[in-house]
Amino acid sequence: MVRLKFQPVLWAAACSSLCLSIGIFIPPSVAKPPLVRGRSGMVTSAHSEATRVGVEILQQGGNAVDAAVATAMAISVVEPFSAGIGGGGFLLLRIGETNQMVALDFRERAPLKANSQLYLDAEGKVIPRASIDGHRAVAVPGTVAGLQAVHQKYGRLPWSTLLQPAIQLAEEGFMVSDRTTRIIALRQDTLAANSAAKAIFLPTEQPLKVGDRLVQTDLAKTLRRLAQDPQTFYSGSVALAIAEDMRENKGLISLRDLKTYQPTWRQPLCGDFRKLQVCSMPPPSSGGVHLLQMLNLLAQWNQFPANAEHPDYLHMLVETMKIAYADRAEYLGDADFVEVPIQELTSVPYAQRRWRQINAAQARPPEQVKAVDAQTLKRLQQESNDTSHLNVVDRDRNAVSLTFTLNLGFGAGVVVPGTGIVLNNEMDDFATAPGVPNAFGLVGNAQNAIAPAKKPLSSMTPTIVTEAGQLRLVAGASGGSTIITTVLQLVLNVLVFDQDVSTAINAPKVHHQWRPIPLRVEERVQWPKQTLAELQRRGHSLKMRSQWGNANIVEVTPDGELQGTADPRGEGVAKATSF
């Protein structure tokens, strides 16, 4: 077992706002996760109780969609800091019988009263933390609408059956983990400023302790209402409670915002990598575009070394990341509001052009890595045709990859009185001003500017890989801006370097998002000194980081066996059905 030096007080003091993203917290000791095997079905999630719920639903005759809904609802209870009914997300579904891919966008959207000047002062400067803390940081939640929509279309068991385990967890409570207590401590001041949040998570003026039982009576009552009628969240008693709390605290969400919210069925983004088809989410997630873009770039390389820690591979991987994130800052946004050159950015001719710009011997400074101009993209088109993640695979090889979020830990730090609902702070994922970084250090421009009913750009990357029409891999992660690069490295570790999923998920990761400049290198294991020295020699400025994404993954082996695991950086588990 690898032991890391860890001092809670120093950690909390030094941790940037990025640490508050769900899934980028690393416990003080980490061991390689177990490789779980099965054949009939499997669930992986960020929490053992949620995984248990999903497996029980499969064993009751539910399909992958049923299990995903129940698992997500359980996460809303046992990970109130990461994702839940007060947030939103994305779902990718593979229908086993036909190999059809379906994508559902239930991302939060800006309130109708929102505008591009929302978080700017009289001088046009960004007001610190205005898009992070409190009622005005909240976007219209989409989780309940999204889960209801996918269940109505593809579910098998009754909706109320799927919510019952989450209701029980909220009513009876569960033992608070080390991870939960640490994230409460990190957001203590914000939670203390909201009386409803304080009553739940700081009941004695101090954060809950490891081993305390967290009972969420109000949330249980809300879930019971939703079990009877999920639309009560958008047009019934729950909606009225949210709207009233917003009115009393100068928030922006109105009853009209809630009544008019609808999830959106979208065409998944799919592309070829070697003999595989890789599918992920289209905008307003940037995940699918840039996962395919980076795979296309690396597909131009015929010199993959034997292992994933070789400096040649790491150098080319990082240079590829820089290109993708530079394009993200320039071109990505909600495609319902702005034109996003998806086809061009994910095309092979574009990858070929950009690949030629990479110097195999020298890192390029970010100022030299720029998005291709719009006219070049147009010509290419003419030339070429905290957050939580869960995976479910059932006996028919239906597969769900679902990522959903509240954005930062405990979202806006707001709980709607009498409901137990923790609300998101997803407004921070917009570009509050051109070139001004958000909590994850990501920058954007007018493409991702705030507008009424617009959805903020996301990094969520639920991913499903098939080979010759057969399911091969189901994966995803939490972790803010590191999500895309985490999923990329998982895919490459398994499919290029032939690692089993436990080795692949445990392997140390690197991340570069164009700006800020340093190459983030995970420090939880000892890297070969010559590898780090060679990266520095090539011009990479290294910054060792302990916090990272929190992934989970399921692989289908050539003989049809399911192999799954969850990230040792979190506290999730994989579990197979017993039949």
DSSP codes, 388-403: EEEEEE-TT--EEEEE
More confident residue, 447 or 468: 468
Examine residue 330 and state whether it is found in any structural domain, yes or no: no
Position 516 pLDDT exceeds 90: no
DSSP string, 281-312: --TTBSHHHHHHHHHHHHTT-----SSTT-HH
What is the number of domains present in the chain? 1
Residue 6 has a pLDDT of 27
Examine residue 482 and state whether it is found in any structural domain, yes or no: yes
Position 419 pLDDT exceeds 70: yes
Examine residue 298 and state whether it is found in any structural domain, yes or no: no
Q: How far apart are CA 362 and CA 358, in angstroms?
A: 8
Position 371 pLDDT exceeds 80: no
Percent of the chain with pLDDT over 70: 90
Residue type, 352: Q
Helix H or strand E segment including 172: helix 159-172
DSSP string, 416-434: ETTTTEEEP-GGGGSBSST
Q: Which residues of 275-313 are buried (b: 16+ CB within 10 A; e: fewer)?
A: ebbbbbbbbbbbbbbbbbbbbbbbbeeeeeeeebbbbbb
Position 11 pLDDT exceeds 70: no
Residue 197 has a pLDDT of 97
Residue 479 has a pLDDT of 87
Which residues belong to the active site? 387
Can you give the length of the chain in residues? 579
Q: Which of 172-186, 356-370, 465-479 has the lowest mean pLDDT?
A: 356-370
372 band by pLDDT with thresholds 50, 70 and 90: low
More confident residue, 31 or 202: 202
Mean pLDDT score of the chain: 89
| Tens digit of each residue's pLDDT (9 = 90 or more) over 60-118 | 999 999 999 999 999 999 999 999 999 999 999 999 999 999 999 999 999 999 999 99
Position 14 pLDDT exceeds 70: no
Percent of the chain with pLDDT over 90: 78
As beta bridge partners, residue 44 has 391, 574
Examine residue 255 and state whether it is found in any structural domain, yes or no: yes
As beta bridge partners, residue 101 has 94
Average pLDDT over residues 561-571: 95
> How much of the chain is helix, strand and coil, in % rounded to 5?
35, 20, 45
Position 535 pLDDT exceeds 80: yes
Position 511 pLDDT exceeds 80: yes
Examine residue 376 and state whether it is found in any structural domain, yes or no: no
Q: How far apart are CA 466 and CA 476, in angstroms?
A: 15
Residue 366 has a pLDDT of 72
Nearest to 37 by CA among 572, 568, 554, 558: 554
Q: Which of 2-11, 190-199, 468-477 has the lowest mean pLDDT?
A: 2-11
Residue 291 has a pLDDT of 97
* Omega before residue 516 within 30° of 0, cis: yes
* CATH number of domain containing 247: 3.60.20.40
DSSP string, 342-391: HHHHT-HHHHHHHHTT--TTSPPPGGG--PPPHHHHHHHHHH----EEEE
Examine residue 24 and state whether it is found in any structural domain, yes or no: yes
Residue labelled with tokens 């702070």: 425
Position 277 pLDDT exceeds 90: yes
Which residues, including other chains, have CB under 8 Å from residue 98's CB and lie 6 or more apart? none
Residue 428 has a pLDDT of 92
More confident residue, 36 or 367: 36
Position 8 pLDDT exceeds 90: no
| Tens digit of each residue's pLDDT (9 = 90 or more) over 107-125 | 999 999 999 999 999 988 8
578 band by pLDDT with thresholds 50, 70 and 90: confident
Q: Which domain holds residue 44?
A: 1-281+388-579
Q: How far apart are CA 177 and CA 33, in angstroms?
A: 18
Examine residue 335 and state whether it is found in any structural domain, yes or no: no
- Six token digits for residue 24: 């980028």
Position 506 pLDDT exceeds 90: yes
Residue 196 has a pLDDT of 97
Question: Among 11-20, 21-30, 125-134, which range has the highest average pLDDT?
Answer: 125-134
DSSP string, 65-120: HHHHHHHHHHHHHH-TTT--TTSEEEEEEEETTTTEEEEEEE--B--TT--TTTTB
SS (H, E, C) 231-248: CHHHHCHHHHHHHHHHHH
Phi first, then psi: give them for residue 67, nearest 5 degrees.
Answer: -65, -40
Examine residue 372 and state whether it is found in any structural domain, yes or no: no
